Amino acid sequence: MMPQGIDIVFLGTAGSVPTKERSMPSVAVIYDGSILLFDCGEGTQIQMLKYGLNAQRLKAIFISHIHGDHTIGIAGIVRSLAINGRKEALSIFVPRGSERIIRSLIVFDRVTIGYPINIIGVRQGTVYRGRGFSVSAFRLNHTVETYGYAVAEDSKLRFIKERCDRLGIRGTMYSELEKKGIIRINGKGIRLKGITRLQEGRKIVYATDTRPAAGTVRAARGADLLIHEASYKSSEKALAVSRKHSTSEEAAGIARKAKVSKLTITHFSARYRDASQLLSEAKAVFKNTIAASDGYRITL
């Protein structure tokens, strides 16, 4: 069996304030038809409509920190879901101690919301389990308590096609083998051992807003994709340090240390009309780097 695709859609790639080209921070990870949102800046629901994401498939929102540019979009999404008749519960994860602030975004106009909303305070470690994957939180280094998130697919047994073909395994035999662990072909017992291999699951790591952090390197070790903020060029490093953000060069350094497969930089300061200089600096350190734009989609 071939693994299903994991889609990552960048809904907003601006930092702090929007521009004509870039909306406020939010990234959607789509797995098995379900949507996980990482941060939810102003206008996120509009971006979901624009880029073809059905908000009714939203399972959970993971907030990195409580600054408004990463949270204000929650108010609109929960209302739209209510108006459209949602019944399924929605989970919103925030740094522990920030739950009351998120609750205020939901109840401020006393709108009737006819589905459960679970606001969950997080610390480091596994915070969410879905079907076939988990989400873990790790601490970042920003001006307020901030967490990054790692989406890790479960490791799975994969059939070795060449061996299966030689043994005559076809069609429903695969599902029978998975269920029973053994089938018989021409009187011979065929077991999973020897015709399968354990395939390590894919991993996506999201880290913003932050200075370069050792915890990000640990969380992203060997990841298929690291999404890391790159608010400033290296010439603006003093500003990055004072505001506890990262330069594009520093983001690339994290990717190199963690030995990730791909780096996508995002969360660009509005002072840059385009991200070409940021991308050039990052690629000089870590070649397989992409600068995200609103609507950019990656499939793993």
Quick one: 22 and 116 in the same domain?
Answer: yes
Does residue 256 sit in the same domain as residue 183?
no
Does one domain contain both 262 and 179? Answer: no
Whether residue 1 is contained in a domain is answered as: no
State the total domains in the chain. 2
Same domain, 247 and 122: yes
Range of the domain at 181: 157-197
Same domain, 193 and 204: no
> Would you say residue 144 lies in a domain?
yes
Q: What is the pTM of this model?
A: 0.89
119 and 261 belong to one structural domain: yes
Listed residues 146, 175, 197: the one ending a domain: 197
164 with 278, same domain: the answer is no
Tell me, yes or no, whether 101 and 244 share the same domain: yes
Is the same domain home to 100 and 151? yes
Same domain, 102 and 115: yes
Catalytic machinery residues: 69
Instruction: Let me know if residue 281 belongs to a domain.
Output: yes
Per-residue pLDDT of the chain (300 residues; tens, 9 = 90+): 445 789 999 999 999 899 999 999 999 999 988 999 999 999 999 999 999 999 999 999 999 999 999 999 999 999 999 999 999 999 999 999 999 999 999 988 888 899 999 999 999 999 999 998 999 999 999 999 999 999 999 988 778 888 888 888 888 888 888 888 888 888 888 888 888 887 789 999 999 999 999 999 999 999 999 999 999 999 999 999 999 999 999 999 999 999 999 999 999 999 998 999 999 999 999 999 999 999 999 999
Whether residue 250 lies inside any domain: the answer is yes
Give the residue from 143, 171, 197 where a domain finishes. 197
> Is residue 2 included in any domain, yes or no?
no
**Residues 127, 26 within the same domain:** yes
User: Given its phi and psi angles, is residue 168 left (phi above 0), alpha (psi -120 to 50 degrees) or beta?
Assistant: left
Q: Do 236 and 260 have their domain in common?
A: yes
What is the domain-level CATH number for residue 224? 3.60.15.10
In a domain, 266, yes or no: yes
173, 197, 221: which is the final residue of a domain?
197
